[in-house]
Structure 1
Amino acid sequence: MKKALFALLVACCVWAAWDATRPVDRYVVKVTAADGDTLWHLVGDVMDREGDRRDVREVIFYTKKISNLQGDLQVGDVVLIPIEASTK
């Protein structure tokens, strides 16, 4: 049992090291909020389109921070969405 857990731990460490060294493109996508838009949907749609695989909650946190958004999203608000997409 100890050998199996050790092998699993080593495999996780190797995967994490590989994942940390792969090339990533970092850029910001600028979107303007329209009527009925929510931050969750705007960020989620851009992440899907751009291939960002991070947790949407993490990206929303940084989106609010760099876009200086406080409170509810208003029509016309400029939303800056930080994207991290792996290069192919």
Structure 2
Amino acid sequence: MAGVQLKFTGNSDGDRLTAPAREETGRCIIKLGSKRFSDLPETEFTAMQMASAIGIRTASCRLKSRGAIRDVPAELLQSGLRAL
């Protein structure tokens, strides 16, 4: 998972996303905002939706409130309102 945006692997658990335990893998990517770029998940979501609207194949994605993210250290959920 290259890039500078903070991200974790995760698994869908109903309406929540849960980061797996150490040395386990998830089936999706959880991307979080940062102090410098708190709206990065929303910006990437919008870019993905725009690309899809003009016919570019993209991965499915959705925004989740940061309260729906489990097993990620609380200090990493401080920036932004949502995760991608």
Larger Rg: 1
Tell me which interval the TM-score lies in, with the shorter structure as reference length.
under 0.3
TM-score normalised by L of structure 1: 0.26
Report which structure shows greater RCO (CA 8 Å, sep ≥6).
1
